[in-house]
Amino acid sequence: MNTAVDEFVYDPFSPEVMSNPLPYYEVLREHFPVYYAERYDTFFLSRFQDALDFLSQPTNVFVTNEGSVFNKSVLLQHNSGPTFDPPHDPIMGSHLNYGAPTYEFIRQAHGKQLRPGHVKKLEPFIRTLVREKLDELVPRGRFDLVHEFGGVISASTICHLFHIPVENASEVLDNINAMTRTDSDGFVEAREFQMRQLEFVRPLVAARRAEGADGSWPLVDGMIDLRVAGRELTDMEIAINLMCVMVGGTETLPKVAAHGLLELARHPDQLAEVRSDLANNCAVAAEEMNRFCGPAQWFGRTAREETTVAGQIVEPGQRVVYLTQSANRDPREFDNPDDFRWNRHIPRTLAFGYGQHFCVGVHLARLEERIILQEFLSRVDDYEIDVTEATRAPATFQWGYSHMPVVVKSSF
């Protein structure tokens, strides 16, 4: 082993890793597939199969009661044994911090509206939304793919799901971006923006409860009808538990779509192939964009009982983190993984997680991404990305483009 490998240190909170984690992932996969960071008492998995096996562990062997994206302060506090779920009373926190069965029945209570049949009904709304936004933006000749286009589309769709006036989409987007901002210690405390976001939802829940939940608004009605430990949830508790849908449905998609359009612009031959049959090819291209362009770098769990992960014994209270974007570039799973190929065969993916916490909004994300690509490429004949002005700020968790100016050279 050479000196560089002998002296290798991986720390997801270091400025060097935050600026560009990809070179570190390559070293981890080849030399330290199960990397133990003593400072954090945490194991990091960098290979695809190891991550998949980890996420396939039996229910409650690993839990997210400390969260699934750890701040540095959490990891610096070592556990001396298993951690336990927070109480249900007097206030029920987010279901993301509970193990089974609490997590599952809360997820099921609001998840019906995100199933394929319900999501399919949203296609006309989303397609009209995208076309109207392109009508506004394309004549300008230059606009931001992340914030002004994809971000507004995803936020508007979430507003539609939550019965929030679409006119509030920009404010919703700004609040969520502020809530998910990270620095070298992890997520920045943004209680002001969190409360603003909750106050978009809480009054709507209260109004729905007053008029009667009849099942026609499954996202909220299912939560109003839910009983946890024999009691109904308050309006604020319901709002808290729906934040995962609101944040997840707004934050990631714009970064993936914008980066994907950048990769197509970098590969004119692939762009031409996608254009040859937009109706069918955009969904295929979107899967490669999810693999190659996904901004979320890692997710973690805390061990509740002793188990073995990738040959390593993990004790109760220790954490395991799987490096999503390292796994997505593992040459053991993907041929020439650092190459973008619009029609890559992807039989397995970690782009939306796996197992118990598989993304509840996967069908909506795929629908929006397909429509955004299809409508943009139908409307814009020739474009280029101003990479000199594109912003990909260092971050501990989301390493994606927050701004990406596009120049429309010609349109249909």
- pLDDT of residue 1 exceeding 50, the answer is no
Question: What pLDDT is stored for residue 180 in this prediction?
Answer: 87
The conformation of residue 148, written as its DSSP 8-state character, comes to: I
Reported pTM: 0.95
Q: Could you give the CA distance from residue 400 to residue 197 in angstroms, rounded to a whole number? A: 23
Question: What pLDDT is stored for residue 209 in this prediction?
Answer: 98
Tell me the residue range of the domain where 346 lies.
3-411
Q: Could you give the CA distance from residue 100 to residue 136 in angstroms, rounded to a whole number? A: 46
**Phi–psi pair at 148, nearest 5 degrees:** -80, -25
More confident residue, 229 or 317: 317
In 3D space, the residue among 381, 386, 380 whose CA is nearest the CA of residue 401 turns out to be 386
Question: What pLDDT is stored for residue 28 in this prediction?
Answer: 98
Least confident of 97-101, 188-192, 231-235: 188-192
Q: Which tokens hold the place of 198? A: 């909750």
CATH classification of the domain holding 338:
1.10.630.10
In 3D space, the residue among 138, 89, 375 whose CA is nearest the CA of residue 237 turns out to be 89
Whether the Cβ atoms of residue 242 and residue 250 lie closer than 8 Å to each other:
no
Q: What angle do CA 328, 334, 340 make, to 5 degrees?
A: 75
- pLDDT of residue 247 exceeding 60, the answer is yes
Quick one: pLDDT band at residue 369, thresholds 50, 70, 90?
very high
- pLDDT of residue 3 exceeding 60, the answer is no
Q: Could you give the CA distance from residue 359 to residue 353 in angstroms, rounded to a whole number? A: 6
- Give the mean model confidence (pLDDT) for residues 190-199: 90
- Give the mean model confidence (pLDDT) for residues 121-145: 98
Number of domains in the chain: 1
The conformation of residue 59, written as its DSSP 8-state character, comes to: B
Residues recorded for the chain:
412
pLDDT tens, position by position, 324-344: 999 999 999 999 999 999 999
For residue 266, what is the enclosing H or E element? helix 253-266
- pLDDT of residue 2 exceeding 60, the answer is no
Q: Could you give the CA distance from residue 294 to residue 339 in angstroms, rounded to a whole number? A: 14
Q: Could you give the CA distance from residue 179 to residue 198 in angstroms, rounded to a whole number? A: 12
In 3D space, the residue among 301, 293, 326 whose CA is nearest the CA of residue 45 turns out to be 326
Q: Give me the amino acid identity at 312.
A: Q
- Give the mean model confidence (pLDDT) for residues 130-134: 98
Q: Which stretches within 88-190 are classed as H helix?
A: 102-111, 116-120, 123-137, 152-161, 169-179
| Mean model confidence pLDDT for the chain | 95
Q: Could you give the CA distance from residue 234 to residue 91 in angstroms, rounded to a whole number? A: 9
